[in-house]
Amino acid sequence: MLTPLAYGLAVLLSLFITFIGVRFLVAPRPAAAGYGVSAKENGDAAYLSIKGLRDLTYGILGLALIAFAGAHAVGWYMLAVALVPLGDTLIVLRHGGTKAAAFGIHFATAAVVLVNAALLFAA
């Protein structure tokens, strides 16, 4: 029962971050607003594309590990990748985003990713 839950959550998280990456590449300004820090209209859109590519890559890598590696490898990946939403929490707070976005989106995501890592290690 634990293994399907751990893998199911890992797939959902990987698909979700893939979606976020694609959204940043296709509609960067709305995606930035959803991130918690709006992008300036005349700002450098390259940074939004960088975030999109980063997230897309993390999602695809997660899906590849799920498909071709064992639960412990995916668990280590999730443990390492949890640093991203933790860092995003600090970025949102530092750049004028709301505490609700920082903790409700990014910190909560980090917590779910860490729980998923624990489930994968236990599987």
Question: pLDDT digit string (tens) for 114-123?
Answer: 999 999 999 9
Per-residue pLDDT tens digits for 65-74: 999 999 999 9
- Using CA atoms, how far residue 24 sits from 20, 42, 51, 62, 114, in Å, is 6, 16, 7, 18, 24
What's the whole-model pTM score?
A: 0.90
Average pLDDT over residues 2-21: 95
